[in-house]
Structure 1
């Protein structure tokens, strides 16, 4: 079955990227880490033999890091814009677009360096047996979502950026009769205490 892989990313601009890490790293340091996380996520994503590979960005496509990513993949990586709406609306729109032409769609952000190509392969395989797959985050959210069909109930009106996201997602999935599976939880790098979860070579 054909698979689409979407990487959601925000432009690594000083003062706008990873702002909750600025007290620990400074604006430039937080932007540097955002770029490092982006590069890592794309490198791991490149290890999955997806039929469609997309970097879906905000607030626009003009940052040099995005053009560099497309160039580094020889044009294999498609650059798209997240567009308007909250996180759920943007994710639902990207997944629905991908599922219009592919049987499976995986979406990750760039905040969880523990998401590897092996994780992506496991998630893709899980979608052969389940309608949805998640990699929960230790902070109560999730770092990966994969679907075989659009499920708007999992995205609209969700309390994003709170510890209730994964719990609410489970409740909605049960209510909608969705068959899903969860892989091993990982850490997101959002707050200064999360920096201990970075790969040792990055610290």
Structure 2
């Protein structure tokens, strides 16, 4: 693998919840059971971390919820060389803004991904980092109306305010906020993520079922 050129280097933040049965991938519990849904979530987190490491952009951070005490997180830190951080804020927007503030304060561009998109590739992360070398923000929209990746070259906390997180309106509202703020934005190709039974069927059909951490 080739490391990203210096002008495209960035810190990569991966957002993840602890794989506690009944608290993650709840819309898939009727199909997989609570334990199976949690196991799938763990596998997707592991895949996201692998993608982050393979991008070779820079330091990889795992931002944990509700805290960083779950043994799964410590195993991930050991396996992937990621540093552990606790998500802090009242909603997803404020938690992402805090993670960006941390990374940008260190002088790095930041690429933030969730753990629900199995089709993100290391090259997608590198493209995002390259985009924010010339833009303020880059997004990879999701088919369900949200987004699976966001990258920033400077602090823009207002970008994450007033958004109906967890709904199909997220990307549309974010585009409106981008226009209001007058920031330079780059949109990357649309991707899909895994939340519903039909997403799991697609995951199987495309042969993308992740390995599960034991």
Same fold (TM over 0.5): yes
Which whole-Å deviations, capped at 9, do the CAs of 1:139-169 have from their partners, x for residues lacking one?
0000000001111221112110111100110
After TM superposition, the score normalised by the length of structure 2 is: 0.89
Coordinate RMSD, CA, aligned: 1.4
Map 1:116-155 onto structure 2 (within 5 A): 116-155=121-160
DSSP-derived class of the 2:54 partner: coil
Gaps of 5+ in 2: 1-6
Which whole-Å deviations, capped at 9, do the CAs of 1:166-197 have from their partners, x for residues lacking one?
01101110111111111111111111121133
Distance in 2 of aligned mates of 1:51 and 1:201: 26
Match of 2:173 in 1: 168
DSSP-derived class of the 1:14 partner: coil
* TM-superposed deviation, 1:20: 1.4
Residues 1:56 and 2:63 are matched in the alignment: yes
* Structure 1 runs, 4 residues or longer, greater than 6 Å off: none
Gaps of 5+ in 1: none
Map 1:1-150 onto structure 2 (within 5 A): 1=7, 2-73=9-80, 76-150=81-155
Whether the aligned pair in 2 keeps the contact of 1:70 and 1:79 (CA below 8 Å) is: yes
Whether the aligned pair in 2 keeps the contact of 1:136 and 1:144 (CA below 8 Å) is: yes
Which whole-Å deviations, capped at 9, do the CAs of 1:37-66 have from their partners, x for residues lacking one?
011001111112233210000011122211
* TM-superposed deviation, 1:103: 3.4
* TM-superposed deviation, 1:201: 4.8
Match of 1:181 in 2: 186
Whether the aligned pair in 1 keeps the contact of 2:57 and 2:126 (CA below 8 Å) is: no
Match of 2:4 in 1: none
Whether the aligned pair in 2 keeps the contact of 1:4 and 1:102 (CA below 8 Å) is: no
